[in-house]
Structure 1
Amino acid sequence: MTGEGRSPRAAVRHAVGRVLPAPVRKRVREGLDGARAAKRRRALLAADPGLRAAEGPHGAVIGRIAEDFTAAGAAEANLRLVVAAAEAAGLEYFLVPGHSPVRHVVGLRKADKKAFLESMRERYGDGDVYAARFSGERCTARGMYAEGALPTAVKNAQTIRFARIGLGPQGQVLAGLDYGCDVEFWRDGEEFAAQPDFDRKLDRVRVRIPAAMFAGAWVGPRPNRVADVLPAEARVPAHREVGGREYPTFEPFTRKLADDVDFPVDAVYMWVDGDDPAWAAERARYLGGDAAEHAHLGGASRYTSRDELKYSLRSLHAFAPFIRHVYIVTAGQTPDWLDTGHDGVTVVDHAEIFADPSALPVFSSHAIATQLHHIEGLSDHYLVLNDDLFFGQPSQAERFFHANGIAQLPFSPLQIGLGAVRPEDSAPNSAGKNVRALLEPDFGRFITRKFKHIPHPQLRPVLYELEKRYADAVDATSRSRFRDPRDIEFAAMLHHHYAMLTGRAVPGRSKLHYVDIYDPAAPERLAGILAARDGEFFCLNEVEPVPEREAEVRAMVRGFLEAYFPFPSPYERS
């Protein structure tokens, strides 16, 4: 101890307060606080071998190595840690219907905020739970309980996010602050209406009512999907189930909303094992001397397998729990890692869906796509995917369909070009031009745009309608053993434009990372995607394969996918 019985740290603070200007004092004190927090972080890591330091989308963090990961599971775990603290303090809480597709929101009365934060400190004060303040998607302040006192900006926030960080086997961040549980502190209506700047604050409330009607109501700190003002008569106790457990809420917060999608949505993959010797021999036999003719329409690289399907299914399991059933359409092949006994997946042979089996075998995705809607038991709304497509973030059915069944189309800024089909046109361009030639006479509309490489929403009744209306073009494409300049693109170009022109689809929005895996910049791009995890979808495509680089590219792709999706899905064999 020094001086007046102070510790060395306290003596430094005392000296700082006496001799330094205020701005300098602030910086020095922040430095001391930072040193103390760093020391506590080191102690926490040393005491618990299950914890590691990592770099996440919102900065450096300490997280725990996970044994499994789904977005829903991570969000539910953070909900439980918040609820445990509220229940330990004997506080009434309620679930609020937030806007996030995965994150849970808990409401507490503002009067209970102090007791709740004390309970959180008591339960998690020496641990790895984070508390953070967000403005939209941007983290503006955060702190970990083990570091000491939470930042004032966090404690003063009207909404605080709490989370444990989940790490993968390599120490990569899988579940960061974006999967935390938001706690909203709701004010009494009388207090809200009595504010001097009530008129200004009222502009931020979605439910506009006279000041007198706030009596007895609770007012939320931000909008939600139902109402941010809860009158006393609306606070009828109810429950909502999350992960098999019921949590308290209020009856209006349990209603099925007008924009909720409640119809089943399936997923359909077209897959081929290009390494299968029997399949490759059959393809070569039918291709014969026409290899050069078909090269520009898609060569052997289209069939190269790097186990992308396995990781795409992992992405589905992690981020798209709304999918009811998965269908994998193949030419009599089955991935050796696939658990065909799982009741959530079905392997479908081409022979089961082709209207005329004599058209088989076919080696063109254009042909196969014309028959997918024939799958027995397929939902009327479904997604069609290639195995090089991956979900990168939590998703929901509302991203692809509106509640009234209308599809949301992933338009691309890329265009198919003008003029008639030319021999040198790429397959997407020639197939798009052929679709344009079908639709323009019927609708007087000139289509120009392509679609992004993301899961494509499909309306099964529309596809049956197209099969009849444009029977000759559909039948001819179904019989194209290999891609042909006369093909139509059925599942995207024709389905999407026709659905929009007949009032059953509208433009949607999506964030896609598209990576040409043979591009020299691909390693850097993949590293950025892995670090940020900010894309709803990503596509790992190959524009111009370089055979001598295949081993290098295969290792790069497998390494990236294993880091992004390190845990097996239920669709894989044990």
Structure 2
Amino acid sequence: MMLRRRTVRHALRTVRRALCTAGRRAQRRAVPAPAPPSADELRYRREEELLASQPELVRERGLVTEVREDLLAADAFLRSFTEVTDLLLTRGIGFAPVPRRGSRQWVVIPPGRRAEVLAACAGTFEGQPVYADLLGHDHTYLTVLAEELPRAVAALEEPVEPSDDTAGTADTAGTADTAGTADPAPAPVRVKGVRLYRPVVTSGRSLFYGPEYGCELDFWDSAAPSEGAIAAIHEPPFGWWLPSLTADATVRIADRDFPVPAAFARARLTDVTFPIDAVITWVDDTDPAWQARRSAAVAAMNLPDPSASGTGDERFRNRDELRYCLRSIAMYAPWIRRVHLVTDGQLPDWLVTEHPDLALVSHRDFFVDPATPPVFNSHAIEAQLHRVPDLAEHFLYFNDDIFLGRPLRPEHFFQGNGVPLVNLDSRVIPPQAVTASDDEYVAAQKNTRALLRREFGRETTNTLSHTPHPLTRTLLAESAEDFATELADTARSVFRSSTDIAPITLATARGYLTGRAAWGHLRHHYAEIGRQAELDRLPALLHDRAVDTFCLNDGVLDHLDRAEQDRIVTAFLQAYFPVAGPLEAVPPPPRGDQFRGRTAALLPDPRRRAGPAGSAGSEIEDHFC
């Protein structure tokens, strides 16, 4: 009996052990195998390897990025283009640059060469922080490291099997039963082009060159059985189809000639092919000699309240804005032929005065009467700008508080026939005649409106935007001739006064009414930096970089502390334009990091090393520099 009990207990223990073992095995079988890493996770791991092996690199906005202080926007575009074209030339792969689409360069790859190009890019850029956006028709599928191009394209284009799930039931109306019918296969993905770029950021992290500064390769398709080839991504200016890609012309980009089909080389009606200069008026209110001239002029007026007569300090304040105005031109309008700096005999000590692209112009060089006493009135200067020596027929007129905000082309300012594209502001000129309460700016606008009403029977309602004004010498000269008496009086007006004419408003309105000016559509921001609310908007302006031009107009509206106002504005300008241009010999003095703290919530954290979830190409495309 005892033996039998032991045998039963032993059998039970054996069964329990067997059951436990089977349960554990079943549990192990039920645990799914770990999912393979996603494409983003694989890219992130590779990026971490690059960061570990090249400590000079940083992660910025989800991308492995170089840190540089010397790259202007035009140079960033050109570097992307040069890296791509050098690669193609080295590998003997034919290509043709297309007339530019915006500021970014675009390169055609003939049919049948895609796989070769992808392999060449992967080999050339292996181990380098070069990225490729995989492009469809006006769509970015994915962002990958360029060294992964062939594998990434193959994986993206891999066919997806139709779903085996069934759906649908017979309906009571007797229609065919759809049960058992598989879902249709998704449309196949086809990578039609790639955008190659090497991200760059400045050490202050305020300027970032990302995909918008890349070079696009468009893999054209064969038009068989017809002749020629068909564009894959963007429609070229001459249409989607080209009868032949045979190179029978050349285009010059930077200092190199590239063979292209003749259609690529022909100038279009809208292309601006004439030279364009820039004129900038500037004054240094800290110059003792200028201060003495101004004080003498104010005293000679014998006014009870000089500040109420166009002589206020805010009209002349200098925060080194000229430096950043010049940087903005170098950054975003490298097509400007020459800058004419108009001053009352003053020069900033940091300027490269002998540079061939700079002309220094004193008032006495172009005033009708060189013996005219010193003037402190922008209207008096504008009335005679067409007399600036060696000025191009077409030019942009800047005050030094006006800046370009992003890459622009000549066609933003002029039509291909030479007509200036003038920009109107939303501000309205009050309809009544000049009143005692009008300041000199409003009074001049009203006086100008009265002249236009007299000569043309038409009314001006809106002021001009505070943008760079596109002008021609001819428009200004003809206006000076037609309104000689009125403009001569303005030219002799030492300070702004309520009897002034606004010469630029007059010339452009007359040009419009005679068919020689048209309305432009620049995206512009006007900031009255005498208001605290406008200073508080500067971080968003820096973060977004979404305007074509902006103006930082001075004033005393909120009676802000001048030193604090100066610190904020100067730090903002240094953050927006951190790269010195060719006309600058001496960098600005260090001013600390005052602005950085104000933008911490808007600008990316330079210490952030974002993981794959924060590195999608669509997120990067939202940051335009």
Taking structure 2 as the reference length, the TM-score comes to 0.78
What SS is found at the alignment partner of 2:277?
strand
Task: Give the match for residue 258 of structure 2.
Answer: 247
**Residues 36 and 187 (structure 1 numbering): CA distance in 2 closer, same or farther, change over 3 Å?**
closer
2: distance between equivalents of 1:139 and 1:484?
56
The structural deviation recorded for 1:85 is 3.5
CA displacement 1:437-462 (0-9 Å, x = unmatched): 00112211111011111110112112
The structural deviation recorded for 1:67 is 4.3
**Residues 564 and 445 (structure 1 numbering): CA distance in 2 closer, same or farther, change over 3 Å?**
same
The structural deviation recorded for 1:66 is 2.1
Residues 207 and 575 in structure 2, CA contact (< 8 A), matched pair in contact too: no
Say yes or no: does 1:64 pair with 2:70.
no
One-letter amino acid of the structure 2 residue matched with residue 114 of structure 1? A
CA displacement 1:264-301 (0-9 Å, x = unmatched): 21111111101112212221222135373543746101
Say yes or no: does 1:528 pair with 2:540.
yes
Task: Give the match for residue 423 of structure 1.
Answer: 436
2: distance between equivalents of 1:172 and 1:146?
28
Residues 165 and 175 in structure 1, CA contact (< 8 A), matched pair in contact too: yes
Task: Give the match for residue 230 of structure 2.
Answer: 219
Say yes or no: does 1:109 pair with 2:110.
yes
Say yes or no: does 1:465 pair with 2:471.
no
Task: Give the match for residue 369 of structure 1.
Answer: 382
Residues 136 and 193 in structure 2, CA contact (< 8 A), matched pair in contact too: no
Task: Give the match for residue 205 of structure 2.
Answer: 171
One-letter amino acid of the structure 2 residue matched with residue 558 of structure 1? T
What SS is found at the alignment partner of 2:581?
coil
1: distance between equivalents of 2:122 and 2:387?
57
One-letter amino acid of the structure 1 residue matched with residue 235 of structure 2? P
One-letter amino acid of the structure 2 residue matched with residue 255 of structure 1? R
1: distance between equivalents of 2:359 and 2:316?
21
Query: Which of 15, 23, 43 is 2:49 aligned to?
Result: 43
One-letter amino acid of the structure 2 residue matched with residue 171 of structure 1? R
CA displacement 1:202-255 (0-9 Å, x = unmatched): xxxxxxxxxxxxx121011221123331113x6343332222223232222112
The structural deviation recorded for 1:137 is 8.7
**Residues 138 and 489 (structure 1 numbering): CA distance in 2 closer, same or farther, change over 3 Å?**
farther
The structural deviation recorded for 1:565 is 1.9
Residues 104 and 212 in structure 2, CA contact (< 8 A), matched pair in contact too: yes
Taking structure 1 as the reference length, the TM-score comes to 0.85
Task: Give the match for residue 3 of structure 1.
Answer: none
Say yes or no: does 1:161 pair with 2:231.
no
Superposition map of 1:498-537 within 5 A: 498-537=510-549
CA displacement 1:346-368 (0-9 Å, x = unmatched): 11111111112343211111111
What SS is found at the alignment partner of 1:454?
coil
Task: Give the match for residue 260 of structure 1.
Answer: 271
Task: Give the match for residue 165 of structure 2.
Answer: none
Query: Which of 215, 221, 236 is 1:181 aligned to?
Result: 215
2: distance between equivalents of 1:17 and 1:507?
70
Say yes or no: does 1:482 pair with 2:488.
no
2: distance between equivalents of 1:141 and 1:16?
35
The more displaced of 329-338 and 289-298 is 289-298
One-letter amino acid of the structure 2 residue matched with residue 276 of structure 1? D
One-letter amino acid of the structure 1 residue matched with residue 203 of structure 2? P
Residues 85 and 116 in structure 1, CA contact (< 8 A), matched pair in contact too: no
**Residues 558 and 320 (structure 1 numbering): CA distance in 2 closer, same or farther, change over 3 Å?**
same
2: distance between equivalents of 1:136 and 1:386?
42
Say yes or no: does 1:455 pair with 2:506.
no
The structural deviation recorded for 1:385 is 0.3
CA displacement 1:315-373 (0-9 Å, x = unmatched): 11121122111111111111111121111111111111111234321111111111111
The structural deviation recorded for 1:138 is 7.9
The more displaced of 281-290 and 311-320 is 281-290
Task: Give the match for residue 563 of structure 2.
Answer: 551
Residues 121 and 147 in structure 2, CA contact (< 8 A), matched pair in contact too: no
What SS is found at the alignment partner of 1:357?
coil
Unaligned regions of 5+ residues in structure 2, if any? 1-27, 158-188, 587-625
What SS is found at the alignment partner of 1:324?
coil
2: distance between equivalents of 1:307 and 1:541?
14
The structural deviation recorded for 1:518 is 3.6
Residues 251 and 259 in structure 2, CA contact (< 8 A), matched pair in contact too: yes
**Residues 418 and 567 (structure 1 numbering): CA distance in 2 closer, same or farther, change over 3 Å?**
same
Task: Give the match for residue 79 of structure 1.
Answer: 81
Superposition map of 1:83-102 within 5 A: 83-100=85-102, 102=103
Task: Give the match for residue 228 of structure 1.
Answer: 240
The structural deviation recorded for 1:94 is 1.2
2: distance between equivalents of 1:290 and 1:54?
57
Query: Which of 209, 219, 237 is 2:248 aligned to?
Result: 237
What SS is found at the alignment partner of 1:544?
coil
Residues 513 and 537 in structure 1, CA contact (< 8 A), matched pair in contact too: yes
| Identity across the alignment (%) | 32
Say yes or no: does 1:572 pair with 2:574.
no
Say yes or no: does 1:274 pair with 2:279.
no
For the aligned residues, what is the CA RMSD?
2.7
Task: Give the match for residue 408 of structure 1.
Answer: 421
Superposition map of 1:392-407 within 5 A: 392-407=405-420
What SS is found at the alignment partner of 2:364?
helix
The structural deviation recorded for 1:545 is 5.6
Residues 329 and 349 in structure 1, CA contact (< 8 A), matched pair in contact too: yes
1: distance between equivalents of 2:563 and 2:481?
46
One-letter amino acid of the structure 1 residue matched with residue 584 of structure 2? E
Say yes or no: does 1:285 pair with 2:286.
no
The structural deviation recorded for 1:549 is 1.8
Q: Which has the higher helix share?
A: 1
**Residues 371 and 153 (structure 1 numbering): CA distance in 2 closer, same or farther, change over 3 Å?**
farther
1: distance between equivalents of 2:401 and 2:137?
31
What SS is found at the alignment partner of 2:417?
coil
Residues 38 and 147 in structure 1, CA contact (< 8 A), matched pair in contact too: no
Residues 366 and 384 in structure 2, CA contact (< 8 A), matched pair in contact too: yes
What SS is found at the alignment partner of 1:290?
coil
2: distance between equivalents of 1:514 and 1:472?
33
The structural deviation recorded for 1:171 is 3.2
CA displacement 1:168-205 (0-9 Å, x = unmatched): 132333422111101111111126xxxxxxxxxxxxxx
The structural deviation recorded for 1:153 is 6.0
The structural deviation recorded for 1:514 is 2.2
CA displacement 1:523-554 (0-9 Å, x = unmatched): 54322222222221121222326666222222
One-letter amino acid of the structure 2 residue matched with residue 564 of structure 1? Y
1: distance between equivalents of 2:139 and 2:497?
48
What SS is found at the alignment partner of 1:160?
strand
The structural deviation recorded for 1:571 is 1.2
Superposition map of 1:379-390 within 5 A: 379-390=392-403
One-letter amino acid of the structure 2 residue matched with residue 306 of structure 1? R
The structural deviation recorded for 1:141 is 3.6
The more displaced of 445-454 and 149-158 is 149-158
